[in-house]
Chains A and B, each alone.
Chain A
Amino acid sequence: MATPTLAEVINRSQHHGLIARITSQQIFWVFMAAVFACLALTLLTDSFATERNLFNVTRNFAFVGIIALGMTAVIASGGIDLSVGSTLVISAMTVSVIMSAGMPFWLGCLAALGISLLVGAVNGVLIAYAGMPPFVVTLGMLSVARSLAMVLSDNKMIYEFGPDHDFLLWLGGGSTLGLPHPLIIMVILACLTAFAFRHLRWGQHLFAIGGNENAAVLTGIPVARIKVSVYMFSALMAGITGVLEVGWLGGVTTNLGQAMELTVIAAAVIGGANLAGGGGTAFGAVVGALLIEVIRNSLILLGISTFWQGTFVGSFIVIAVAFDRFRQRKS
């Protein structure tokens, strides 16, 4: 073997100081915080480490985690999607209405995901081609999509899902090998998202747009098309979650997913998505969602009023952003 050149040694020390690299990542500390919270809860309460509670925690966390994957893509591209909670409910309502009319699951699911993609496409086109601010467009969609879900269902609760009723409940509420299905699906989607971020041109381009949109335009990246696809991706994740959540709850009302956008944004941001654009990882989204869910669960188990939840979520967003600012100023 040849002796390494100086350049190689420098290169290695820059890129392969694994421990230094890991501990310099925000996500590492978030992960440690989540682990620490779990340990503390196990010691402090009798109820945390029960099978039943863990089952609930993992499933709840999976719902937030899946949507946070989409949100991370949007945030990394320099945008924001406030309409995810409403996209979730319109998807849930679509699958429910179709299945309760006696149609099979696959048809309802396809329609639900199709509607979700349409919601994302409308967001994306208004943002990318009409040049409107993402905040405004998706805030409008937040209202429109939920209202359409109410129209669709006549604001009634649906809990009968026709011939595939049991399959839907199994898909969202059941488990395989002790793992809740939403968790399994989240893991698969997280792996796919991580792969797309890292290894597809789509991923490269969306991070380039978030990093410097002007540069992306000048180098001929199809910025508008990528942006539309990113909002469609986010909506698809919300749509998938909508279908799963109906199966878990065994019924759906139009207040499903209300105020969920903030929890999801918090999860993405805590997991390292940079609200200024250009940063974020799939793994981070999942870990961020985990921490939020563990904290939410701990409030309940410790007998603290769940009214405090909003305080935590809101503060987390602000703290995570402040942390990021601080780090940027240092470098």
Chain B
Amino acid sequence: MNVLELKNISKRYGAIQALDNVSLAIAPGEVVGLMGDNGAGKSTLVKVIAGNFAPTSGDILVSDQKVAFHKPLDAQKAGIEVVYQDLAICNNLSAASNVFLGREPTRRIGPIKVVDYAFMRSKSAELFARLKSETRPRDLVHKMSGGQRQAVAIARTLLSDAKIVLMDEPTAAISVRQVAEVLNLIRQLSDHGISVVLISHRMPDVFEVADKVVVLRRGELVADKKASDSSPEEITGLITGAIEHA
């Protein structure tokens, strides 16, 4: 069974063919490194999967069922979560509040419903523990490292029983130590049976965590192979076009 399968996905923006007949299958718990030069279509592919917009043609299957996403919420309900880099985190709130943002649990006191902070803290502590992150639920995100912020964003996906998590350039702007933290988080997700699509320009990161490497070049999928059967040199060649196809 595949968590996600793309069949002949194409996406045009007017005259630009951003995705050209892309087919791809992702198994449960699989970590896919998605690579390609600027403008190759990586972000477009993520947006199609996340329901930001529909493909021009082609099919998306989730757990072998054909789906049509009209808005991001549809994809979310199907178990597809996106970790936006810094976009979906509020610096002025605590880690726990961020994990539960928009889905705060409440309990009744007489006629009014109050936010259940105790539950939010204990549940997010549990999620951070599951991710083996040292993030503390009560800390303000404002004071956190890039790695801890990622943990907050990723904990949110655990809250909603995601099947697959899409990460667009999570390691672009953070320090080496924090990169290691993020890669650990990805491994934790995978250990819990959640698939991850990791977009990254950093070859070592991809080879460190990915089971499979996929390369897009000018909208075409030119490689889809096990990381252990490939090498950074080969992938570089595929990205630039020095190697036509793998």
Contact = CB atoms under 8 A, between A and B. Distances in A.
A binds B: yes
A208 B93 contact: yes
A15 B138 CA distance: 8
B30 to A, nearest CB: 26
A208 B90 contact: yes
B145 interface: no
A214 B86 CA distance: 10
Categorize the interface residue count of chain A.
20 to 34
- By CB atoms of chain B within 10 A, which of A14, A201, A214 has the most? A201
Given A201-B113, A219-B101, A219-B102, A278 B92 contact: yes
B136 A14 contact: yes
Interface in A185-214: 199-201, 203-205, 207-208, 210-212, 214
Nearest to B100: A204
B53 interface: no
Contacts of A7: 136
B199 to A, nearest CB: 18
Contacts of A178: none
A331 interface: yes
A199 B101 contact: no
Contacts of B114: 199-200
A207 B92 contact: yes
B243 interface: no
Nearest to B143: A331
A30 to B, nearest CB: 19
B106 interface: yes
B93 A199 contact: no
Interface string A1-17: 00000010011001100
B242 interface: no
Contact of B91 (A201, A205, A211, A221): A211
Nearest to B141: A211
B93 A211 contact: yes
B112 interface: yes
Categorize the interface residue count of chain B.
20 to 34
B208 to A, nearest CB: 28
Nearest to A218: B88
B112 A220 contact: no
The SS class assigned to the A binding surface is: helix
Given A211-B91, A219-B101, A201 B115 contact: yes
A58 to B, nearest CB: 30
Contacts of B136: 7, 10-11, 14
B115 A211 contact: no
A10 B135 CA distance: 12
B87 A214 contact: yes
B89 A215 contact: yes
A169 interface: no
A210 B93 CA distance: 10
Interface in B91-110: 91-93, 97, 101-104, 106
B88 A208 contact: no
B104 A204 contact: yes
B174 interface: no
A221 B143 contact: no
A154 to B, nearest CB: 43
A279 interface: yes
Contact of A212 (B90, B104, B112): B90
Contacts of B106: 201
A214 B88 contact: yes
B246 interface: no
B126 interface: no
A191 to B, nearest CB: 14
A216 B102 contact: yes
A207 B101 CA distance: 11
Nearest to B91: A211
Nearest to A221: B102
A211 B92 contact: yes
A200 B88 contact: no
Contacts of B115: 199-201, 203-204
Interface string B127-149: 00000000010110011000000
A201 to B, nearest CB: 5
Given A200-B114, A204-B104, A215 B87 contact: yes
B29 to A, nearest CB: 26
Contact of A215 (B101, B113, B143): B101
A204 to B, nearest CB: 6
Interface of B: 72-73, 84, 87-93, 97, 101-104, 106, 112-115, 136, 138-139, 142-143
Interface of A: 7, 10-11, 14-15, 199-201, 203-205, 207-208, 210-212, 214-216, 218-221, 274, 278-279, 331
21 contacts: A15-B138, A200-B112, A200-B115, A204-B93, A204-B101, A204-B104, A205-B102, A208-B90, A208-B97, A208-B102, A211-B90, A212-B90, A215-B88, A215-B89, A216-B90, A220-B73, A220-B102, A221-B102, A278-B90, A278-B92, A331-B142
The list of the 9 closest CB pairs from A to B, nearest first, reads A219-B102, A211-B90, A278-B92, A211-B92, A199-B114, A215-B88, A219-B101, A220-B102, A212-B90
